Structure 1
Amino acid sequence: MTRLTEEVPFEMAGMRLDQVLAELFADYSRSKLQSWVKSGRVQVNGLTLKPRDKLVGGETIALDAEAEIVITAEPEPIPLEIIFEDESLLIVNKPAGLVVHPAIGNWNGTLLNALLNHDSSLETLPRAGIVHRIDKETSGLLMVAKTLQAHNSLTQQLQDRDITREYLAITRGRMTAGGTVDEPIGRHPTDRKRYAVRENGKHAVTHYRVGQRFTRHTLVQVKLETGRTHQIRVHMAHIRFPLLGDQVYGGRFQMPPDCSEQLEKELRSFKRQALHAAKLGLQHPVTDEYLEWEQPLPEDMIRLLEALAENERD
């Protein structure tokens, strides 16, 4: 049994307890939450209420969540590069090409399957403890909760924007300076697999600064203020600096002029978006200590940068 607590936002004033629970504890089914209310495992400001009782906002909800198997995926012996692990937290370095969570077309061979093989107790956590995702073809740091308490803490830190997430990316085009993209992101109006800057989208903010300039490319350091799906890829494409290798948002591939043989070889063989989750920082869910990890670029991006630099010297 793990006690989870949330404060009811004032914008939820007038909503029923069962509706508020479904919003604040979305990792659990409505039927499970209702059964916990009826069994006295949910308290509002220390009182036991009925599912249909209305709230006024500002109350503190305490939920005694019971660990149970919520994952039906199978464990698979997929190698994991573990950067940090203790009793409540796991930090992994995800390689490019590994899907984070099972979905249509990728039911097996995912990071979630690997996590279940590493620690079978993760089957009692929503999404096996995975708190956030990075795209299949993006490499780098990703955090995993190992307990319900840690899951609740990390999820809250994400919502409060207290998690440090910094990326390294290689864009097409030479940037003159860094900046901020503050544009809402939503589903593409015609292609449901893509996202786009849209007026009715969700608030999204991306900060970026130049790391290294090349003739027709730029290494940029990107810091996320929000965490929308494909955010960096969409925002960089929006300002006309799409990520190198991004086949979804980057448009048709074009070999740059005055390209050395080595650079042409690296560009043609680079089949993913040049994006790496390089830094991750958070408050430890138990000790409250601030922890931060950095992961250097993977070999394919290093070779690409070396070829870009060498091409400048030719």
Structure 2
Amino acid sequence: MRKRIRLQELRVGMFVDEVESGSQDGSVRFSPFLVSSPTDIRLMMNSNVMTVVIDVGKGRDIEPAAVNTRPFDRAHFETTLLQTFSANDVSRARRCIEETKPHIRKVVSAARVKGGFASDAADVAVKGIMSAASSNAGALIGVAKLKEKDEITFLHSLAVSALMISFGRTLGLAEEDVRLLGVGGLVHDLGKMALPNAILKNTGKLTDDEMELVRLHPRRGYELVSSLPNTPRQVLDICLHHHEKFDGSGYPSGLSGERIPYVARVAAICDVYDALTTIRPYKPAWSQAEATNMMMKSPGHFDPDLLAAFVSNMVISGTLR
């Protein structure tokens, strides 16, 4: 029997069958193994790992008291939102999501069906996101945390766009530069639309061949977005380089340090943060503290100065709440 557990619940004697990286890109790869010492656990802690799947038929089971068997409580989620944000801000956030949904779907459809980039639809969507984020970015990102199975791609794009817009503003960037961050965040994963549905909807382990296809999505996204003349360089850089890592171990180009475009370094942080804090009916989310702690313990993944600014400006300051 296989069980998905948080990394903090991993113990010596457990058999790790699968890992899930916070960046959603499969960049952390482990062969199945038996945890034989605390060193194995520290190795996992120092890697970009979010959850692990253990096989209790081959190793130790999780302690009964630690198993989260509670079903997702939507009522509690709604109550928490209204305790954190005003009813007006929550309502406005939901309205923004509903109003931008058809435009984002148009962007996705153009990429999947026509192999092109619907820039006009992206611009309209980002205009709405910028407006809602100006009112209360935390409420918009909070509402978008809950991602049902058929909305994961759409809401992840919206949430990353909102995070990049909000973060860009805290960095003191000009509004046009902030807007381009928003557009880039919205379309950063557009290349995934070229992937087969079987891969896109797979919540289990991908084969090596499938993983190689996934790792092609930045280049495919770049090709889609660059098919439109005069697409801003910033948007292209976000599509192509948001999976680069500061130590040069990322892809597709293996860039390191400041050779990675600034906007792509911003995108990498926002992309992983949303992946970690996403709420799904079948899997609990990480708290802000858990997510940022894991990110800060991932040496070489992010620009350390930008990550420190994100934690200070977005989390500690209460922007996201």
TM-score, with length taken from structure 1: 0.28
TM-score, with length taken from structure 2: 0.28
Q: Which has the higher contact order (CA 8 A, sep 6+)?
A: 2
Which of 1 and 2 has greater Rg? 1
